[in-house]
Amino acid sequence: LQYVDKKIAKRQLRGRVMFLKRIKRELEDLKKTLKETSKKHLKVILDHDIDLVDAEIKSIARLTDVLL
């Protein structure tokens, strides 16, 4: 990031966060649509995926703050 214009980097990172939030929303919707009789491992996998997306969103937010 040291060779990239800060404004461009921040814009790209903001775009990434927006994309990740959309993915998170889709994963949460998918989790809600799973039937109660669905295999429990699918819910565990979806929870894990949501946790990973959350972690990346938080990490990018911290990185964006550093670029201020």
pTM score of the predicted model: 0.83
- 33-42 pLDDT per residue, tens: 887 767 788 9
pLDDT for 56 equals: 98
Cα(17)–Cα(9) distance, integer angstroms: 12
pLDDT, mean of residues 58-65: 94
Please provide the DSSP assignment of 7-61 as one string: HHHHHHHHHHHHHHHHHHHHHHHHHHHS-TTS-HHHHHHHHHHHHHHHHHHHHHH
Q: How far apart are CA 42 and CA 9, in angstroms?
A: 35
Q: What is the pLDDT of residue 37?
A: 66
Residues with Cβ within 8 Å of 16's Cβ and at least 6 positions away in sequence, in order, are 60
Least confident among 35-39, 51-55, 56-60? 35-39
